[in-house]
Structure 1
Amino acid sequence: MPDDARHSRFDLVVALFMALAAVGTAWAGFESAKWSGVQANSYASAGADRAEASRAQTLASQQRTIDVVSFTAWLNALNAEIVADPSVRPHGSYTPNANAVSGFLFERFRPEFKPAVRAWLDTHPLVNPDAPATPFDLPQYRLAADQRSQQLVERAEKLATRARTANQRSDNYVLTAVVFATVLFFSGMATKASGRRVQLFFTTLAGIALVGCIITLALFPVQI
């Protein structure tokens, strides 16, 4: 093969390697930036969810305190009424008396708290020693704010995991861009080398690195 034809083919191969490496570097940089954006947004959302979870947990603590105080006040009032008149002692389901202090307090329990109190009263706690000590020990005692706080914490953990995954993917694309830079370097060295063997050596290195990068990029997840 004439030298001019060989050099022409060699220059074409090197130019193709450099063009593909340049495109690959640009794509890797673009994807790295996109995954960095996913990381930042996920961390920001996780932080917002944790802040909201903290507020929900604070609300749940306040509501729990209200329930404990109101239940204690009701129990004290009911006990005072029983001491004054033992006939009012409930042996079955409790029916609040609107004319009594205990009935007044009972009707003002928070709506979330009443199902637990009624379930507790159904166990006949005033005459049954095996009944739960308080309504707070029953599964019927549930606070929506508490559940929301837990859901927000779980969602924040998922977002934080997504952010860490996005960070790793961004780093992977950066590493691929670095390898593409070595393709450009080897291709440039091939054009500057004088000996045929040296040119072939650098061209082969550039080709191997280029193929490896292209295969790697094909396997990476894409964020648009």
Structure 2
Amino acid sequence: MTEHETRDGWTRATEIVGVFLLSITAVLTAWCGFEASKWGGEMSIAFSQASSARIQAAAAEGEARSATSFDLTIYAAYVEAAGSGEEELADYIRERFTPEFEVAYDAWVRDGQVERAPFARDEYVPEGTFEAQELSARADAKFAEALENNQRGDNYSLLTVLFALVLFLTAMSQREIAPWVARTLLGLAAVVAIVGIVILSTFPIKI
């Protein structure tokens, strides 16, 4: 085989590999753009859910504060009536205790009234407290999920830059340059492409 034929063979091989790399990289770049868009959408949804949970948690906390205020008012009236010796009025007010306060009050009396008031007891959990805690925890979880989804989208976007480098190197290798330079650029493009594919395989997929 002559030197000319060998050179032509290398040129054809370079062109074939170049076309293959360009095709594969174009598909992978489009895929990364699609995944970045999908994870961006998931981020927006998670942020929206976190915001909604925050609003609901605030409403539940407001409900708990209102319940505590009501219990304080009823208890103050009860203490005043009991202190004045108005047993009938005190019993009437006692029957108006909310179930949440009733539990704490009974435990307080049973344990010798060590605390200054039933409100200091662990048993006292006004209505809306658990709901506020659950919703606040959900908001925190959704916010963290949104940040994670945002990072995933950014990772795919950064990978498109890596594949753009592959396209650049491959395109440069197809120009009228010294054969050894073309092969070097093409080899470098192939290495970068392989690295990009390996990294891509570790990323989560969202369809």
- TM above 0.5, yes or no, is yes
Measure, in 1, the Cα distance between the counterparts of 2:108 and 2:91: 16
Q: Which deviations, in whole Å up to 9, do the C-alpha atoms of 1:89-122 show, x marking residues without a partner? A: xxxxxxxxxxx11111111111221111111222
1:102 counterpart (68, 90, 104): 90
1:49 aligned residue: 53
Deviation at 1:132, TM superposition (A): 1.8
1:40 aligns with 2:40: no
- Taking the TM superposition and a 5 Å limit, the aligned residue runs for 1:1-224 are 2=5, 3-81=7-85, 100-125=88-113, 131-224=114-207
Q: What is the letter of the counterpart of residue 167 of structure 1?
A: N
Q: Are the equivalent residues in 1 in contact too, given 2:40–2:153 (CA < 8 A)? A: yes
Separation of aligned partners in 1, 2:137 and 2:112: 38
Give distance in 1, aligned partners of 2:148 and 2:45. Answer: 13
Q: What stretches of structure 1 of length at least 5 have no aligned partner?
A: 83-87, 89-99, 126-130
**What CA distance in whole angstroms lies between the structure 2 residues aligned with 1:32 and 1:78?**
68
Distance 1:169 1:71 in 2: 54
Distance 1:149 1:193 in 2: 69
Gaps of at least 5 residues in structure 2 are: none
Please state whether the residue corresponding to 1:221 is helix, strand or coil: coil
Give the Cα–Cα distance (whole angstroms) in 2 for the partners of residues 37 and 168 of structure 1.
12
Structure 1 residue 219, shift from structure 2 partner:
1.0
Deviations 1:27-83 (A, max 9, x none): 11111111111111111100000011111111111110100110010111111117x
Whichever residue aligns with residue 108 of structure 1, its letter is: R
Displacement of 1:124:
4.2
Query: Is 184-193 or 63-72 further displaced after alignment?
Result: 184-193
Runs of 4+ in structure 1 deviating by more than 2 angstroms, as ranges, are 1-8
**Secondary structure in 2 matching 1:112:** helix
Percentage of pairs with the same residue: 30
Please tell me whether the aligned partners of residues 14 and 183 of structure 2 are also in contact (alpha carbons under 8 angstroms): no
Paired residues in the alignment total 203
How many angstroms apart in 1 are the aligned matches of 2:202 and 2:121?
Answer: 52
